[in-house]
Amino acid sequence: MARIPKAFVAGYPIYHSLSPKIHRYWLNFYRISGSYDSIEVTTEDFPSFIHSLKELGFAGGNVTLPHKEQAYALVKKCDEVANYIGAINTLWFDNGGILHGSNTDAYGFVCNLDDFSPGWEKETALVIGAGGASRAVLFSLKERGYQQIILINRTRARADRLARHFGQQIVAADWQYINDHIGEADLIVNTTSIGIENHNHNAKEQESVINFSMAKSDVVVTDIVYTPLMTPFLNQAQKAGLKIVDGIGMLFHQATLGFERWFGIKPQVTKALRSQILTTEMKEKET
């Protein structure tokens, strides 16, 4: 009898992850017998968890914070995008039982902009933040032909490091001069954790430091944070009359590639999926 494929998302903490809801929606929609569960794994336990995946009968799974870099170090067969970013979020076994890793965040980022702002690829981007998420965004922007990417981070040294890694299109700049660069950008991306609900930021930090009144009128503003969907950053851009793209579509699209590996079908990111996930989220918050 054929085994029912099973997959997971591992992180610490993991209770907040929307991935089980997304994958179960597709399992149900495509009438696939399979499972997708969240597993809380500490950093110390993560290597033994990865080494026991085959024994546990998984077809593969996702890894999320804080394990993406550790997963990259543990999985020997990583693809080009993963090697470039230095972190993975998707794992699968090939037919020979070898574990592979990829980073599908960059794919998710571009698909979300393709969906909600077709023609977004232009000349100059401003990227705020130089952590793990920023690396996937920089990779995407380079892939889609951005000529100049201004990278601004609170800790300048991290921005300099990424600029060296990603090459000459990336120009690091100082945090305090952020508003001097707003007017140059065709795309502005927040990759920092400022604005994440319940994250340890004070009210002052939640207010975006950006003065959107300097922005080009046709700039596209996007945030990779999706909890809340309308971050203070996006709210402010919207109030300034600018085009905004929220971050949840990136989560949906990055998930499609893993689903295809484990369950054999490339699922569609639809309005129905979006509304189902957002509605159940809101209901859970109310209770």
CB-nearer residue toward ligand ATR: 1 or 203: 203
Subset of 149-168 contacting ligand ATR (CB under 6 A): 153-155, 158
Neighbours of 80 (CB within 10 A): 10
What single string gives the DSSP state of each residue in 72-95? HHH-SEE-HHHHHHT---EEEE-T
DSSP type of residue 2: P
In 41-181, beta strands by DSSP E: 60-63, 77-78, 90-93, 99-102, 124-128, 148-153, 170-174
Segment contacting ligand ATR by CB under 6 A, of 4-12, 142-150, 190-198, 257-265: 190-198
Find the helix or strand (DSSP H, E) in which 116 lies. helix 105-116
User: Is 68 labeled as catalytic in the residue annotation?
Assistant: yes
CB-nearer residue toward ligand ATR: 134 or 231: 134
* 201 belongs to the binding site for ligand ATR (CB under 6 A): yes
Count of chain residues binding ligand ATR (CB under 6 A): 16
Q: What is the phi-psi region of residue 198: left when phi exceeds 0, alpha when psi lies from -120 to 50, beta otherwise?
A: left
* 13 belongs to the binding site for ligand ATR (CB under 6 A): no
Q: Which two tokens stand for residue 111?
A: 């698909």
The minimum distance between CB 97 and ligand ATR, in angstroms, equals 30
Subset of 100-139 contacting ligand ATR (CB under 6 A): 129-134
CA atoms of 28 and 69, how far apart (whole Å): 32
Per the residue annotation, which of 54, 68, 76, 239 is the catalytic one? 68
CB-nearer residue toward ligand ATR: 154 or 216: 154
Binding site for ligand ATR (CB under 6 A): 129-134, 153-155, 158, 191-194, 201, 205
Q: Which residues are catalytic?
A: 68
